């Protein structure tokens, strides 16, 4: 695995460097926001995961996240920060982070989160390799088509091209079982691939961003079931 860690605290970087070495992962460190953007844009496709601190010199982490997302919608992004307010967490997730981890954090926990996120991306790639061009869209509903092979999503034949990895996984999970209501806890387990992270605001923030992207091209198909969770429903779109 090739990791870009953007962190201005060298002691934290050095500590994580030892853990990455034990895992036999390759890591490049950037200690300020400006340098991080320069490193990333040389070849956005070379990275498997980006770890991003928010309190950075040169360029704020939120700005860096926005720039990275403009260059790559698919790069898995984990934010690391001492900002633990709800507004900061929601903003970070809305800026395109797949996960948000507050400091101080356990290195072992961070390693587990990285593995879980990377495993989810790898599973999608494996499904893509098994798929054939004749069966390009493996999830189909009345108005939606999803291809795991190409990670393309079409709503009423309009391409949604800017979904992050977690947004794609969320939509696919919901659309695979139309009308089924998923609780936030279920979505955390199925999409984030671990059971112990109980901050359900993570799901809400990603759903909010996903809805904005859906509404930009077509009807809203992700519905809230108050007091329970979310469901996919495009059955009533054609009704007057």
Q: What is the pLDDT of residue 194?
A: 60
**pTM of the shown model:** 0.64
Least confident span in 130-134, 171-175, 230-234: 130-134
Domain 2-120: which CATH number of 3.30.930.10, 3.30.1370.60, 3.40.50.2300, 3.40.50.300? 3.40.50.2300
Q: What is the pLDDT of residue 240?
A: 42
% helix / strand / coil in the chain, to the nearest 5?
Answer: 45, 20, 35
Judge whether residue 133 has pLDDT over 60: no
The model's confidence at residue 100, banded by pLDDT at 50, 70 and 90, is: confident
What mean pLDDT is predicted for residues 22-41?
A: 95
Range 154-161 contact pairs with CB under 8 angstroms and sequence separation of 24 or more:
155/214, 155/217, 155/218, 155/219, 155/221, 156/217, 156/218, 156/219, 158/217, 158/218, 159/217, 160/213, 160/214, 160/216, 160/217, 161/73
Reported as type and span, the H/E element at residue 182 is strand 182-183
What mean pLDDT is predicted for residues 165-169?
A: 90
Q: What is the pLDDT of residue 128?
A: 54
Domain chopping of the chain, boundaries? 2-120, 132-232
Q: Do domains 2-120 and 132-232 have the same CATH topology?
A: no
> Do residues 234 and 222 make contact, with C-beta atoms less than 8 angstroms apart?
no
Q: What is the CATH number of domain 132-232?
A: 1.10.10.10
Of the two residues 229 and 96, the one the predictor is more confident about is: 229
Judge whether residue 224 has pLDDT over 80: yes
Q: Which residue has the tokens 């009345």?
A: 142
Judge whether residue 109 has pLDDT over 50: yes
Judge whether residue 181 has pLDDT over 90: yes
Share of the chain above pLDDT 90, in %: 42
Share of the chain above pLDDT 70, in %: 86
């Amino acid at each position: 695995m090739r990791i870009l860690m953007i962190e201005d605290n060298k002691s934290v970087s050095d500590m994580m460097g030892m853990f990455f070495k034990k895992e036999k992962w390759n890591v490049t460190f950037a200690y300020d926001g400006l340098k991080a953007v320069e490193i990333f844009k040389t070849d956005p496709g070379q990275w498997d995961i980006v770890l991003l601190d928010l309190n950075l010199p040169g360029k704020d982490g939120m700005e860096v996240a926005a720039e990275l997302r403009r260059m790559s919608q698919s790069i898995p992004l984990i934010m690391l920060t001492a900002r633990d307010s709800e507004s900061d967490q929601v903003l970070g997730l809305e800026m395109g982070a797949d996960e948000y981890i507050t400091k101080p954090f356990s290195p072992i926990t961070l390693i587990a989160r990285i593995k879980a996120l990377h495993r989810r991306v790898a599973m999608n790639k494996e499904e893509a390799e098994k798929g054939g061009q004749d069966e390009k869209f493996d999830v189909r509903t009345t108005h939606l088509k999803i291809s795991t092979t190409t990670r393309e999503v079409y709503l009423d034949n309009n391409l949604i091209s800017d979904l992050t990895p977690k947004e794609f996984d969320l939509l696919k999970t919901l659309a695979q079982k139309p009308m089924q209501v998923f609780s936030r806890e279920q979505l955390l387990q199925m999409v984030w691939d671990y059971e112990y992270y109980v901050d359900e605001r993570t799901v809400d923030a990603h759903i909010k961003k996903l809805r904005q992207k859906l509404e930009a091209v077509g009807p809203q198909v992700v519905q809230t079931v108050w007091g329970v969770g979310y469901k996919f429903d495009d059955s009533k779109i054609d009704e007057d």
